[in-house]
Chain A
C-alpha cells in the first residue's frame, strides 16, 4: 500500500495543471479579499474573518472535487488499478492507496486555502492579537475535519461513478449548495454531523445582534461575536469526521471490490 500511496503522490507532483489551477485559486482569494475590503469597513483581520465566515471556507470546497477527481478518478481512465492487482496488491490495498492520499491531499489543500485567506486578511488589515486571534486560528485549522469528511464522500462516489470529471463537477455542486444555503435562510440543522453545517458552525461566531436609533442614519445594526470554542464542538467535529470517513471507506470498498478493472 505504501508503494501505491507513493506512486499517487508522485503522479500528483507531475500534475502541473492542477497546481496552476490551485495557485489561481490562491490568487483569486487574494484579489477577492482586496476587493471585499473596499466594501467592508473592517479594522482587523479578525473582524474580516468574523464578518465573512462563508467566504473563508467556500473556496476550499471548490477545490476538493478537483483534487479528488485527479487523485482517485484519473486511474479509471486507464488500467493502472488492474495492473496493480495483477502485480499482487490486494483490492483493499489498491483502494486504500487511493482513498488515503485522495482525502489527505484534498482536505489539506482546502484547509490551506482557509489559512491563506486569513493571511491575506492579516496582510491587508493587520492582526488584532489576543484570545480572539488564537481562537480563530484554531477554528480555521479545525476545518480540516469537515473537509476530510467531504473528500471521503467524494472519494467514495468516485469509486462508484468511476468518472473523474463528474466528481470535479460535483465539487462545484457542493460549492453551490454551500453558497445557496448560506445566502438563504433555510431551517437547517446545526448538527455537526453534516460537513456543511459543521463548517458553518466552526466559522460562524455570531453572537447577539442589535440595532440602535440614530437621528441621521436611522436604524444602525451592531453585531457581536463569540469566538470561544466548546469542547463539544471540537469533539463532535473530530469524532463525526472519523466515523463518517470510516463509513464512506466501507461503502466505497464494498463497491470497488467487485468492480471490473479491465
Chain B
C-alpha cells in the first residue's frame, strides 16, 4: 500500500512542478491546499499504518512541498517540486528493498522462544535448547545479512529437522520468491531415486521413459517437471520446441537409463554417501526407517550444471553418463511422491467397489464438515457411513480396505467416530488429554517428568464388520489423525496394516505461529495414554510406535508396475492378500 501512495504523491508533485505557472495566471487563495495535501497524506499514512519504509522519503518530500507555500519565486517552487519527485523515487527504490527484506534472525528468535516455552515433546525427543540456539542463531544472523532466501529456507528446514516431528514445519510466506524455494530442492537431472528392498538404488520417474502417458502426443510424453514453473502440471509446449532442451531431455533415455535401472554412484560417490547433504524434505519422517526410505528421492537433486551417473545397463555392464541440469527438481519430487504415495483418487469418505467380495473406503482427511470440526459430535457422519457398511455386509462383502495413504490428519473425534463402526463391541480407551495451567497456557509436567492426565476419551465399538477382514493402507505421509486412526485400529483383531513404509508417527495437536516471513507449526497439545505417556510420537530412538503388520518391499516388479504403467501396486497387493486368505489379522 505504501508503494502506491508514494507513486500517487510523486504524480501529485509532478503536477506541482507546473502548478506555479498556472498560479501566475489564475490567482487564488485556494492554491495553498495543493501544497499541504502531501503532508496530510503522509501524516495519514503514519496515523493509520504506523512506520512504513516509504515514510522517510514521503516526509522529506512533504517538507519540501510545504516550504513552497510561502515562496513567491516561481522557479524556486518548480525546483523544489522537482526535488520532491526525485526524493520520492529514491524512497520508492529504498522502500521496496527494505519492505522485501526478510528478518530471518528475528523470526528465528520469536519461533525459538515460543517453541522453547510451548513445544510439548522436548523431553521425549531429547531437545537440547541451548545447543540448538548456539548452533543456529549465528547462522540465521548470517543469512539475514546476506538476504539469501534459498539459504534461509534451507536453514529453517535444517533447524526444524532436529525435532524429528512430522508436525514441525516451516511454511514460507509470500515474501519468498518461488524460484528461491525451488532451488532449495536442487536440480532436475531427469530422474528420481529409490532404494529396493535388497539395498540397491534404482532410477524411477525417468524422463522420456514412460511407455504410455494416457495416450498423449509424443511431445507431451516428456514430463519435464524440471522447467521452473510454479504449475506442477505439464509444461508449456513452447518450452519443448527448443531444440537443445528437447535433446537434453533424451540424455538418460539414449544412455539406456529407464525406470528400474540400478544406479551405483551419484556424482562419484555411492548414493547413501549423499544422504547427509540433503537439506530439505517436503515432509519430516520421525521414524528413521521412513526417513531412509525417502532420502534417495532427494539425493537425485544434488549436483551442479551436470551430474555424473554411474549405473548398470540391462546387460549388467557398468556404464556412466553425464546428465545435464534440466531445471528445478521440485516438480519431479512431487510427481514421484504422487506415483509412490497417492491413494485411490476418489473423494474423502467415498466408497469404491473392487469386486464382489471387496470394497474400499477412502479417507484422506479427518474432516467431515466445518460444524463438526471444532466439536466432538460426528454422529451425522456415522449415520451416513453406517448404512453403507451394513449394505455391503448384507451383500456378502467380507473384505474392507481403508485407504489412509497421504491422510493429512484432522479431528481426533472423527477418528473415534470411524473406529466406533469397526471396533469390537466393547468400550475402548482412546486417549487422555493433558491438564493445562489456564493462567500460563502451559501443560505442566509432574515430578516424574510426565504430563498430568486430564479427561479420558473413550468409545464403544459397533463391530459392523464382524467376521470380515480389514486392511489399512498407510504410508509415510499418513500423519496426525491418520496416525491416530492407524494406531487405534491396530488393536482390532481383524485389522491388518500394510504399506511401503509405516505411517508418519506424529500425532500431538498442532499450533500454528505467524512469522514475518511465513509460519511455523509445532506440536503444542499432548495426547496421553493410560500411563500418562505421550502417544504415538517417536522418542530419541526415532522408532515409530504406530504398528505396521506388513512392510511391502519395493522390488523391480513394483517399480515397473508403478512407474512404467502407473498402476496402484499397493492396492492390488492388498486385494491379492484377501484372495490368498491372508491376512489372518
Please give the residue numbers on chain A whose beta carbons come within 8 Å of chain B beta carbons, in ascending order: 149-150, 153, 156-157, 160, 177, 181, 188-197, 207-219, 222-224, 244, 247-248, 251, 254-255, 258-260
Query: What are the nearest 8 A-B pairs in CB distance?
Result: A191-B50, A189-B50, A194-B50, A218-B375, A191-B51, A218-B376, A224-B441, A208-B441
Pair A251/B39 contact, Cβ less than 8 Å: yes
**Chain B residues closer than 8 Å to A219, beta-carbon distance:** 374-375
Alpha-carbon distance A197/B52, docked complex (angstroms): 13
Min CB distance B221 to A, Å, is 44
Q: Are B525 and A150 in contact (CB under 8 A)?
A: no
Contact between B412 and A213 (Cβ–Cβ < 8 Å)?
A: yes
Tell me if A224 and B32 are in contact (CB < 8 A): no
Give me 4 other A-B pairs in contact (C-beta within 8 A), A196-B48, A208-B440, A218-B413 excluded: A160-B36, A188-B49, A211-B509, A251-B66
Interface residues of B (CB under 8 A from A): 29, 32-33, 36, 39-40, 43, 46-52, 66, 69-70, 114, 117-118, 374-377, 412-413, 433-434, 436, 438-442, 454-458, 509, 511, 524-525, 527
Residues A247 and B43 in contact in the complex (CB < 8 Å), given A212-B454, A217-B375, A254-B66: yes
Task: Say yes or no: A194-B48 contact (C-beta < 8 A), given A211-B509, A255-B69.
Answer: yes
Q: Across the interface, do B50 and A153 meet the contact criterion of CB distance under 8 Å?
A: no
Closest to B527 in A: A213
How many contacts between A and B, using CB within 8 angstroms?
Answer: 113
Which residues of chain A are within 8 angstroms of B433 by Cβ–Cβ distance? Answer: 212-215
- List the B side residues contacting A196 at CB < 8 Å: 47-48, 50
List the A residue with the shortest CB-CB distance to B59: A247
Q: Are B48 and A224 in contact (CB under 8 A)?
A: no
B50–A258 CB distance below 8 A: no
Report the separation of the CA atoms of residues A154 and B314 in the bound assembly, to the nearest whole angstrom.
83
A193: chain B residues at CB < 8 Å are 46, 50-51
A258 near B412 with CB under 8 A, answer no
Once the chains bind, are A189 and B49 in contact (CB under 8 Å)? yes
* Given A157-B40, A218-B375, A222-B438: A213 and B509 interface contact (C-beta under 8 Å): yes
Most buried by B among A150, A192, A244, A254: A254
B456 CB to closest chain A CB (Å) equals 7
Nearest CB of A to B145, in Å: 23
Q: CA–CA, A251 to B33, complex, Å?
A: 12
Task: List chain B residues, Cβ under 8 A from A217.
Answer: 375-376
A153's contact among B47, B439, B511, B527, by CB below 8 Å, is which? B47
Given contacts A153-B43, A260-B29, contact A210 B525 (CB under 8 A): yes
The secondary structure that dominates the B interface is: mixed
Can you give 25 A-B contacts (C-beta < 8 A)?
A189-B49, A191-B50, A193-B50, A193-B51, A194-B49, A196-B47, A196-B50, A197-B49, A208-B441, A209-B441, A210-B524, A210-B525, A211-B509, A212-B433, A212-B434, A213-B412, A214-B433, A215-B455, A215-B457, A216-B376, A222-B441, A224-B438, A251-B43, A259-B29, A260-B29
Q: Of the candidates B47, B457, B509, which one forms a contact with A150 in the assembled complex, judged by CB atoms under 8 Å apart?
A: B47
| A interface SS class | mixed
Question: Which A residue's beta carbon lies closest to that of B454?
Answer: A212
| A251 touching B36 in the complex, CB below 8 Å, given contacts A209-B441, A218-B375 | yes
Within the complex, the shortest CB–CB distance from B507 to chain A, in Å, comes to: 12
Residue of B nearest to A154 (CB): B47
Point out the residues of chain A lying under 8 angstroms from B527, CB to CB.
Answer: 213
Our pick among A156, A214, A260 for the contact of B455 (Cβ within 8 Å) is A214
Minimum Cβ distance to chain B for residue A212 (Å): 5
Distance in angstroms between the alpha carbons of A192 and B527 in the assembled complex: 40
Question: Beyond A197-B50, A248-B43, A255-B36, is A218–B454 a contact (Cβ under 8 Å)?
Answer: no
Task: Decide: A160 and B52 in contact? CB cutoff 8 A.
Answer: no
A177 touching B48 by the CB < 8 A rule? yes
B297 to chain A, nearest CB (A): 34
Closest to A160 in B: B36
Contacts of B434 in A (CB 8 A): 212
CB distance from B83 to the nearest CB of A (A): 18
Nearest-Cβ distance from residue B62 to partner chain A, whole angstroms: 9
Which residues of chain A come closer than 8 Å to B49, judged between CB atoms? 188-189, 194, 197
Instruction: Report which of A189, A210, A214, A260 forms a contact with B376, defined as CB distance below 8 A.
Output: A214
Q: Min CB distance, B103 to chain A, in Å?
A: 13
The reply to whether A213 and B50 contact each other, CB–CB distance below 8 Å, is no
CA distance A200 to B72 in the complex (A): 44
Minimum Cβ distance to chain A for residue B72 (Å): 12
Distance in angstroms between the alpha carbons of A150 and B44 in the assembled complex: 10
Q: Which residues of B contact A212 (CB under 8 A)?
A: 433-434, 436, 454, 525
Q: Residue of A at shortest CB range from B2?
A: A189
Q: Report the minimal beta-carbon distance from B440 to chain A, rounded to whole angstroms.
A: 6
- On whether the beta carbons of B441 and A218 are closer than 8 Å, the reply is no
Q: How far is the CA of A62 from the CA of B198 in the complex (A)?
A: 75
Determine the distance from Cα of A148 to Cα of B391 in the docked complex, in whole angstroms.
72
> Is A160's CB under 8 angstroms from B50's CB?
no
Q: Is the CB of A210 within 8 A of B441?
A: yes
Could you say which of A181, A188, A210, A258 contacts B32, with CB atoms under 8 Å apart?
A: A258
Q: Is A210 within 8 A of B436, CB to CB?
A: yes
Q: Is the CB of B46 within 8 A of A244?
A: yes
Measured CB to CB, the closest approach of chain B to A198, in angstroms, equals 8
- Chain B's nearest CB lies how many Å from the CB of A18? 24
Could you say which residues of chain A place their CB within 8 Å of the CB of B118? 208, 210
Determine the distance from Cα of A150 to Cα of B440 in the docked complex, in whole angstroms.
Answer: 35
In the bound assembly, the distance between CA atoms of A177 and B509 in angstroms comes to 36
Cβ distance B548 to chain A, nearest Cβ, rounded Å: 26
From residue A205, how far is it (CB to closest CB) to chain B in Å?
A: 13
Given the interface contacts A196-B47, A210-B118, does A215 sit within 8 Å of B525 by beta carbon? Answer: no
Cα distance A254–B52 in the bound complex, in angstroms: 25
Q: How far is the CA of A106 from the CA of B341 in the complex (A)?
A: 65
Cα separation A200 to B70 with both chains bound (whole Å): 39
Q: How far is the CA of A181 from the CA of B43 in the complex (A)?
A: 18
Q: Which residue of A lies closest to B377 (CB)?
A: A218
> How many angstroms between the C-alpha atoms of A172 and B509 in the bound complex?
43
Residue of B nearest to A215 (CB): B457
Residues of chain A within 8 A (CB-CB) of B33 are 160
Say whether, besides A177-B48, A224-B440, A251-B43, A211 and B376 are in contact (CB < 8 Å): no
- A208 and B117 contact, CB distance less than 8 A: yes
Report if A210-B511 is in contact (Cβ < 8 Å); known contacts: A218-B374, A219-B375: yes
B51 — which chain A residues lie within 8 A by C-beta? 189, 191, 193-194
CB of A162, distance to nearest CB on chain B (Å)? 11
Residue of A nearest to B524 (CB): A210
Distance of B63 from chain A, by nearest CB (Å): 10
Q: B524 contacts which chain A residues (CB < 8 A)?
A: 210
Q: Which of B47, B118, B377 has the most chain A CB atoms inside 10 A of its CB?
A: B47
Among B43, B374, B509, B525, residue most surrounded by chain A Cβ atoms (within 10 Å): B43
* Centre residue among B51, B434, B511 by max chain A CB count within 10 A: B51
Residue pair A194, B36 in contact (C-beta under 8 Å): no
Closest Cβ neighbor of A211 among chain B residues: B525
Q: Which residues of A lie under 8 Å from residue B442 when comparing CB positions?
A: 208
A219 CA to B373 CA, complexed, in Å: 9
Instruction: Give the docked Cα–Cα distance between A209 and B456 (Å).
Output: 23
Q: Are A213 and B525 in contact (CB under 8 A)?
A: yes
Q: How far is the CB of A223 from chain B (nearest CB, A)?
A: 8
Distance in Å from the Cβ of A225 to the closest Cβ of chain B? 9
* B contact residues around A218 at 8 Å (CB): 374-377, 413
Q: How far is the CA of A15 from the CA of B47 in the complex (A)?
A: 30
Question: Residues of B contacting A153 with CB < 8 Å?
Answer: 43, 47
Distance of A176 from chain B, by nearest CB (Å): 12
How far does the alpha carbon of A194 sit from the alpha carbon of B2 in the complex, in Å?
14
Give the docked Cα–Cα distance between A90 and B77 (Å): 27
A207 touches B46 (CB 8 A): no
Give bound CA distance, A197 to B66, whole Å. 27
